[in-house]
Amino acid sequence: MNKILLALLTLLFNFSVVAQAPKPTGAGPYPAVFYSDSSLPNHTVFHPADLEATGNEKLPIVVWGNGGCADSNFSYREFLAEIASYGFLVVAISPNREMPPPPPDRSGTPEQWPPFATSTGDMIDGLNWAISVSDREGTELAGHVDTSHIAVMGHSCGGLQAIEASSDKRITTTLVLNSGLFDDGDPYMQRFSMDRSFLDTLYAPIGYFIGGETDIAYANAEKDWPLIKVPSVNMNLDVGHGATYQMPGGGPFTEAPLAWLKWQLKNDEEAVAMFRGEDCGFCNHIDWQLKKRHID
């Protein structure tokens, strides 16, 4: 068969599989929906489909940044829908798409790359929208958003965006997934207005969730963590840099970030027990490796 024809047929088949696959809703108590809102067209909003089902429990805010600082959260839909299904409002950078866009050109060295498609400012835009919609009459989220508990979270380059955004005093916790700061002077790091001295300014709890020693971010995270003075964890699951985001429910890598969010934003007792104390749930976990600081 002609190679070009075979490639086209393969592309059409993959598109058909994606188009027919049901949208993830998460396995939590509140099946999630996601969409792009006309008042926030460059982001995707995830939240429980039935907001009344959450009762008097308002939704804490989680703002998400994509790997590669890409303008696509398509590969994270399983993971983000899973988070939302446990009663969170997730605002992810990039519009809701049915197919991911082509990957950006990253040939050459980092200093030769074009500007990243998204920025930390996009994260703050999503946060501002979530806060504003909480009391905007006529919207379905009005009265359902907890604006006093806010997380910023991202994968790889999106994790750097989350760290940079954490200087915003509205943030109550930061989650750094498969990420960490590069050494001073690194051309990749020069795309951000911070270096490791920035870690000394952190004021809210932070969690690093890394894919083990095969994760290209492992060394960076290991250098970051000793410099952090706020309550923090450094956790590893041996899944590599790409983790398991595209698996149903976000796969096994979802467990620890979700537990951290449930503790930090909801003070969920079961989640607290996963981190606190000498016999905490993650202290003796069969797969996750935990280091913690300033956490009893």
Q: What is the pLDDT of residue 3?
A: 44
Residue 245, pLDDT above cutoff 70: yes
Q: What is the pLDDT of residue 106?
A: 67
Whether residue 16 lies inside any domain: the answer is no
For the record, the structure tokens of 32 come out as: 């999630």
Q: Which amino acid is at 49?
A: A
Residue 258, pLDDT above cutoff 70: yes
Q: What is the pLDDT of residue 193?
A: 86
- CA dist 203 and 270 (Å) reads 25
Q: In this predicted model, what pLDDT tens digit does every residue of 187-213 receive, in sequence order?
A: 778 788 898 999 999 999 999 999 999
- CA dist 53 and 153 (Å) reads 26
Whether residue 137 lies inside any domain: the answer is yes
151 sits in which H/E element:
strand 145-155
Strand order in the sheet with 145-155: 32-37, 40-48, 89-93, 59-65, 145-155, 173-177, 206-210, 232-236, 289-293
Whether residue 129 lies inside any domain: the answer is yes
Place of tokens 């994760």: 215
Contact assessment for residue 34 and residue 80, using Cβ atoms and an 8 Å cutoff: yes
Contact assessment for residue 98 and residue 19, using Cβ atoms and an 8 Å cutoff: yes
Q: In this predicted model, what pLDDT tens digit does every residue of 42-58 receive, in sequence order?
A: 999 999 999 999 999 99
- CA dist 248 and 250 (Å) reads 5
Q: What is the pLDDT of residue 111?
A: 66
β-partners of residue 145 are 59
What number of CA atoms fall less than 13 Å from residue 37's CA on the CB side?
17
Kindly provide the b/e burial profile for residues 176-187, where b requires at least 16 CB atoms within 10 angstroms of the residue's own CB.
Answer: bbbbbbbeeeee
Whether residue 3 lies inside any domain: the answer is no
Q: What is the pLDDT of residue 116?
A: 81
Stated length of the chain? 296
The DSSP secondary-structure symbol of 137 reads T
Q: What is the CATH number of the domain that holds 193?
A: 3.40.50.1820
From 53, 47, 52, select the one nearest 26 (Cα to Cα). 47
Q: What is the pLDDT of residue 4?
A: 44
Whether residue 12 lies inside any domain: the answer is no
- CA dist 262 and 88 (Å) reads 9
The boundaries of the domain holding residue 138 are 32-48+55-98+111-293
Q: Are strands 59-65 and 32-37 parallel, antiparallel or unpaired?
A: unpaired
> Which has the minimum average pLDDT: 47-61, 107-121, 140-154, 259-273?
107-121
> Which has the minimum average pLDDT: 110-119, 150-159, 278-287?
110-119
Q: What is the pLDDT of residue 49?
A: 97
Q: 225 vs 112, which has greater pLDDT?
A: 225
Contact assessment for residue 256 and residue 210, using Cβ atoms and an 8 Å cutoff: no
Residue 184, pLDDT above cutoff 80: yes
Tell me the mean pLDDT in the region 255-260: 98
What's the number of domains the chain is made of?
1
Handedness of CA 109, 110, 113, 117 (dihedral sign): positive
Q: What is the pLDDT of residue 187?
A: 77
Residues above pLDDT 70, as percent of the chain: 89
Average pLDDT of the chain is 90
Give Rg (Cα) of the chain: 19
Whether residue 163 lies inside any domain: the answer is yes
pTM over 0.85? The answer is yes
Whether residue 147 lies inside any domain: the answer is yes
Residue 17, pLDDT above cutoff 50: no
16 pLDDT band, cuts 50/70/90, is: very low
